[in-house]
Amino acid sequence: QCAAVCPTGAIVVKNDADEVWKALDDRNTSVTVQVAPAVRVAIGKEFGLPDGENAIGRIAAALRRMNFDRIYDTSTGADLTVLEESEELLERLSAENGTMPMFTSCCPAWVNYCEKSHPDLLPHISTCRSPMQMLASVIKEQKDLPNKKRVHVAVMPCTAKKFEASRSEFTKDGSPNVDYVITTQELIQMIKESGIVFSELEPEAMDLPLGINTGAGVIFGVTGGVTEAVLRRLYAEKSMAGLFAITYKDVRGLEGVKKATIQVGEKELKIAIVSGLKNASELVKQMKSGEEHFDFIEVMACPGGCINGAGQPYGSSSEVAARGKGLYSADKLSAIKRSEENPLMNELYGGILKGRVHELLHVEY
């Protein structure tokens, strides 16, 4: 096993590819996998495909050939995050003493930074688990797999997700909900080791029953995507014009700090979207001094968001921009663009999640 140093979490992380191969080779183990949104637009170049090309179909085909039993998209977890996070924001806004402002919680490097440098901000961080953890909690409840022994793998754009997977908050009956996190680079290595000719694979679909997702979930991989997805849920105007109105509200673009004001019901919401921990630290300083005020703040530790994560292949700024464009194109091609319209959500809330939303989808740091 090789070790590497995580640039965002400053922790030593190990490559778990060997452990994943072992699980895949064990006929008595069922191995499920989820793939984060940002991975699909960063993997292709390594195999001769254009920068930013959405390769999720080829990734599914490769994972199936590698013997994974069920292949899912973390965007499905992101749809759950959108529903829970928008609900939480509305609750905090309407409660008499609701803890405001609210910061997003999907980026473990940001959560870790707050724990170390601004513990007073922890009550302001959304209690929503990250999309990876939400989907993992649901996958753990699935009963349709052949073996009792189960391993869940997440393919993620960063090493900070390995740290998140190891946190005691995300375990069930003593074992982690996500057994192994492998980065995009580690997946590339595994595909090469298995001799699969990635560029020649015919794209394949995710598995049912959890393989349904929306464009809102896919744009989580780029800075501003979480906010845009949440606004799609909260914005009263549900037509295509409403979707465009959000797009033009300054939520898109790779700038390190973006600010927007959006009307939600009777309230005018002040929003900040920050990527890069340095920008986050500066914004927190301005908020603490009273110089700036926001109601909702999206923070991603990597500049540009997960498309530029430390576990992705290196990308120049134009390549990172192409990855962002790739995610927006994937959203454009999605038949369903709002998380609340994902038919799977109704099924989950009426089934596995009934009476267990807090237990399976939330956490307190």
* Closer to ligand SF4 by Cβ: residue 156 or 212: 156
Active-site residue flag, 141: no
Shortest approach of ligand SF4 to residue 108 CB, angstroms?
6
* Closer to ligand SF4 by Cβ: residue 86 or 275: 275
Active-site residue flag, 91: no
Tokens of 17: 């590819």
* Closer to ligand SF4 by Cβ: residue 36 or 55: 36
* Residue of 53, 84, 88, 186 marked catalytic: 88
* Residue of 53, 84, 164, 298 marked catalytic: 164
* Residue of 86, 114, 137, 161 marked catalytic: 161
Shortest approach of ligand SF4 to residue 336 CB, angstroms?
24
Active-site residue flag, 161: yes
3-state secondary structure of 337: coil
List Cα–Cα distances, 205 to 70, 72, 215, 328, in angstroms. 11, 9, 15, 19
* Residue of 53, 75, 86, 106 marked catalytic: 106
Smallest CA-to-CA distance from 75 within 150, 154, 191 is with 154
Burial of 242 (0-12, 13-18, 19+ CB in 10 A): middle
Smallest CA-to-CA distance from 210 within 3, 35, 9, 15 is with 35
Shortest approach of ligand SF4 to residue 215 CB, angstroms?
19
Active-site residue flag, 128: no
* Closer to ligand SF4 by Cβ: residue 215 or 276: 276
Smallest CA-to-CA distance from 237 within 215, 213, 264 is with 264
Shortest approach of ligand SF4 to residue 252 CB, angstroms?
16
Active-site residue flag, 364: no
Active-site residue flag, 158: no
Exposure string over 331-342, b if 16+ CB within 10 A, otherwise e: beebebbbbbbb
> Are the C-beta atoms of 239 and 338 separated by less than 8 Å?
no
Active-site residue flag, 2: no
Tokens of 227: 């906010």
- Would you list the DSSP string of 179-220? -EEEEHHHHHHHHHHTT--GGGPPP-PPPTTT----HHHHGG
Shortest approach of ligand SF4 to residue 99 CB, angstroms?
23
d(CA 85, CA 227): 10
Shortest approach of ligand SF4 to residue 9 CB, angstroms?
8
* Closer to ligand SF4 by Cβ: residue 101 or 305: 305
**C-alpha 213, offset from chain centre:** 13
Question: Where on the chain is the footprint of ligand SF4 (CB under 6 A)?
Answer: 8, 107, 109, 157-158, 160-161, 300-302, 305-306, 309
DSSP bridge pairs for 72: 34
List Cα–Cα distances, 265 to 184, 234, 274, 360, in angstroms. 40, 9, 24, 29
* Residue of 169, 193, 237, 359 marked catalytic: 169
- Please identify the residue of the shown chain whose CB is closest to the bound ligand SF4: 309
Active-site residue flag, 202: no
* Closer to ligand SF4 by Cβ: residue 102 or 107: 107
Residues marked active site are found at: 85, 88, 106, 126, 161, 164, 169, 306
